A = this chain, B = another copy of it.
Amino acid sequence: VIKTLINGEPENTISVLDRGLHYGDGIFETIKVTGGRLLFLEQHLQRLIAGSKRLGFPQPPVDRIVAEAKSLVDGTAEAVIKIVVTRGQGGRGYRLPEHTRLNRIIIRYPWVDYPERYYTAGVTMRLCNSRLSANPQLAGIKHLNRLEQIIARSEWQDPSIAEGLMLDQEENVVEGTMSNVFLYKGNRLTTPPLRNCGVAGIMRQRVLNIAQDLGISFDISEVKPKDLLSANEMFLTNSLIGIWPVKEFIHDGGVIGYQPGPITRQLTQALAQRELS
């Protein structure tokens, strides 16, 4: 069952004049709840604050958001908490309201039980035809303008394909529709930069931190589709899934297979240990 709090009240509808609806004028976070705890809460709040700044919002009431999110968790062991902050109600037109009163929406969704084999054998990923557009002002943050992801996700229905890989207009690899992507090749872990598009995932940063702690060489640098074809390992990350090895990549030229390799395994284990602690 889905539960919601809007500005602290147990409502499930919002003003039809909300700028989140009219313009996607807002930001969101999707948080994994495990053992009744909001995982990586501090990092999610930091990104929420960064997104608010980028969009010129006043500072969102973080303490209230945390209290409300926790009250929605309310003893549930496993769940997904989504936090949406919009610029609130506004008049017609793009101009910012003179006095902004943010709306905050907290939603508790049931936990998604991803198949165990996604973690052990890995997932199938396909190359999307639609491209991400470049906008440095919107890159990195988790804003509510998500039509590009929706169009990309609508390219396939086959349930055996778990994710679609998106390129930018210059044919650089950026991310999955809902995840960040890593490849391991030549003793080096690489994930694409997110200067012009893409979401700076909490789990992406987590994995980079773990790689650093474990002494795995890594860089954030341009990735082309052909780099994926010669990768030794490939995996996807997001806050809910953690790490999914990629076992198959369906691209324009055919299908290439990967083995979930030692680096993916090492990172997955280190992540699990940190989740528990």
- Residues B21 and A150 in contact, CB atoms below 8 Å apart: no
Q: How far is the CB of A120 from chain B (nearest CB, A)?
A: 22
Check B92 against A82 for contact (C-beta < 8 Å): yes
The minimal Cβ–Cβ distance linking A48 to chain B, given in whole angstroms, is 16
How far apart sit A131 and B151, CA to CA, in the bound complex (Å)?
A: 22
Bound CA span A211–B79, Å = 59
Whether A143 pairs with B147 at a CB distance below 8 angstroms is yes
Complex contact B147–A55 (CB within 8 A): yes
**A153 lies within 8 A of chain B by Cβ:** yes
Q: Taking the nearest CB of chain B, how far is it from the CB of A84, in angstroms?
A: 7
Convert A78-113 into 0s and 1s, putting 1 for each residue whose CB lies closer than 8 angstroms to a CB of B: 001010101000011111100000000101010010
Contact among B107, B109, B147 with A145 in the assembled complex (CB-CB below 8 Å): B147
The answer to whether A28 and B24 touch across the interface, beta carbons within 8 angstroms, is no
User: Which residue of chain B has the shortest Cβ distance to A87 in the bound complex?
Assistant: B150
Give the interface size class of chain A. Answer: 35 or more
Among B4, B15, B28, B80, which residue has its beta carbon within 8 angstroms of that of A13? B15
- Considering residues A23, A95, A147, which has the most beta carbons from chain B within 10 angstroms of its beta carbon? A147
Decide if A18 is an interface residue (CB 8 Å cutoff).
yes
Considering only residues 19-33 of chain A, those with a C-beta below 8 Å from chain B are 20-25, 28, 30
**Bound: A137/B153 CA distance, A:** 14
Task: Give chain A interface residues in 136-175, CB to chain B under 8 Å.
Answer: 137-138, 143-154, 169
Q: Does A2 contact B (CB under 8 A)?
A: yes
Chain B residues with Cβ below 8 Å from A2 are 17
Per-residue 0/1 for A44-82: is the Cβ within 8 Å of any B Cβ (1 yes, 0 no)? 000000000001100000000000000000000000101
Q: Bound state CA distance, A137 and B23, in angstroms? A: 18
Question: Which of chain B's residues has its CB closest to A133's CB?
Answer: B133
Knowing A55-B151, A94-B153, A153-B94 are in contact, say whether A105-B16 is a contact too (CB < 8 A).
yes
Q: Considering only CB atoms, which chain B residue lies closest to A131 in the complex?
A: B135
Q: Which residues of A contact B (CB under 8 A)?
A: 2, 4, 6, 11-18, 20-25, 28, 30, 55-56, 80, 82, 84, 86, 91-96, 105, 107, 109, 112, 130-131, 133-135, 137-138, 143-154, 169, 177-178, 197
Given contacts A6-B16, A96-B153, 11 further A-B contacts (CB under 8 A): A14-B21, A23-B146, A23-B147, A23-B149, A24-B146, A55-B147, A93-B153, A95-B153, A130-B137, A135-B148, A143-B147
Could you pull out 18 A-B pairs where Cβ atoms are within 8 angstroms? A6-B16, A11-B16, A12-B17, A16-B105, A17-B107, A22-B84, A22-B144, A23-B24, A23-B144, A23-B145, A24-B144, A25-B146, A94-B152, A94-B153, A133-B138, A134-B134, A138-B147, A145-B147
